Amino acid sequence: MINRTRRLRKTENIRRLVREHKLTIDDLIYPLFIEEGENIETEIVSMPGIKRFSLDTISKELDEVVALDIPAVLLFGIPSEKDDTGSETWNDDGIMQQAVRFIKKNYPSLYVITDVCFCEYTSHGHCGIIHENDVDNDATLVNIAKQVISHAKAGVDMVAPSGMMDGMILSIREALDNTGFPNLPIMSYAVKYSSAFYGPFRDAADSAPTFGDRRTYQMDPSNRDEGLREATFDDQEGADILMVKPALAYLDIIRDLKNNFDRPIACYNVSGEYAMIKAAAEKGWIDGDRVMMESLLSMKRAGADIIITYFAKDVAKLLLKK
Ligand SMILES: [Zn+2]
């Protein structure tokens, strides 16, 4: 007897009934780049449709995000002053802190998450304090604590540490608990690879390292088991959500985390993944909308509950049209 699996593919309605995964607006977080200064609205050449805004120009972008019912934004701050420790990150009047206060005041329904790192704020572009040509893990943890407390005081809804320092989740959890923020959740960049897919982001966030690379703290793309180890430590240290970054080339890692942890799993559909689809679509080589939807759906299928993506507005527009 032939097993006729095609019976359940015959019409769109039966396909709808047996469809296993769905991408919805509820799944999406939209990253925003906020630059200190005035009258800034700079398109990022390698990321068509994505801009850097100053606080006086960002309202129309936020209006659109809210109108499209995207639940959350992830903020990256670009300060006008950098130094070797990234001390602007814990300035209560820094660009990130101002942005949080501005958005929570004017768009109270929007869920605001801050990236917690130093690379946009250090003169050398690395994710912490440099000692003997490498990032000093434990000295950086002290400053991470100062940074999250400052974000918390500004009123952020969730913090997302991205620097891949050992012990960073524990340091952040203790810092928040000890300063009256025990209910502020942490989304950890738990498994973050040292990836060429971040290229366009470094233009966007002005965060390329001036020497060396990030391979002493970000993970080697060859490693899978190590991803489980990283996620286990962050889970034990108190991360509320575990993230995998990048997404498309690391779907196996997303599935590993989904199978092994009883926590929501997020993935970051990074700038290079976005740029490839936009560029090929611009050339007319692929159907950009369909490849976008199929790529994001693959992340859901792999096990992601949450997708951080520059496509969030495009996806929301497409889903609302249906
Ligand atoms: Zn960083």
Q: Choose, from 10, 104, 245, 258, the residue flagged as catalytic.
A: 245
- 3-state class of 51 per DSSP? strand
Question: Which one is catalytic: 60, 82, 192, 300?
Answer: 192
**Structural domain boundaries in the chain:** 20-321
Q: For 20-321, which CATH superfamily applies? A: Aldolase class I (3.20.20.70)
CA 152 – CA 97 distance, rounded (Å) = 9
Tokens 């607006």 sit at which residue? 25
**Terminal Cα-to-Cα distance of the chain (whole angstroms):** 40
Contact criterion met (CB below 8 Å) for 175 and 148:
yes
- DSSP letters of 172-239? HHHHHHHTT-TT--BEEEEEEB--GGGHHHHHHHT---SSS-STTTSBPTT-SHHHHHHHHHHHHHT-
The full DSSP string for 52-72 is: EE-TTT-HHHHHHHHHTT--E
Query: Each residue's pLDDT tens digit in the chain (322 positions)?
Result: 999 999 999 999 999 999 999 999 999 999 999 999 999 999 999 999 999 999 999 999 999 999 999 999 999 999 999 999 999 999 999 999 999 999 999 999 999 999 999 999 999 999 999 998 899 999 999 999 999 999 999 999 999 999 999 999 999 999 999 999 999 999 999 999 999 999 988 877 778 888 888 999 999 999 999 999 999 999 999 999 999 999 999 999 999 999 999 999 999 999 999 999 999 999 999 999 999 999 999 999 999 999 999 999 999 999 998 7
State yes or no: is 22 an active-site residue.
Answer: no
Known binding positions for 5-aminolevulinate: 202, 214, 271, 310
Residues in binding site for Mg(2+): 230
Pairing of strands 41-43, 51-53: antiparallel
CA–centroid distance, 119 to ligand 1, in Å, is 4
- Interval between CA 259 and ligand 1 midpoint (Å): 28
The whole-angstrom separation of Cα 143 and Cα 149 is 10
Distance 120 CA to ligand 1 centre (A): 7
Q: Which of 248, 237, 242, 238 is nearest to 261 (CA)?
A: 242
Ligand 1 centroid, distance to 301 Cα (angstroms): 28
Give the distance (Å) from ligand 1 centre to CA of residue 206: 11
278 is catalytic: no
pLDDT of amino acid 303: 98
**Annotated binding-site ranges for Zn(2+):** 117, 119, 127
User: In whole angstroms, what is the distance from residue 124 CA to residue 145 CA?
Assistant: 21
Burial grade of 110 (CB within 10 A; 0-12, 13-18, 19 or more): middle
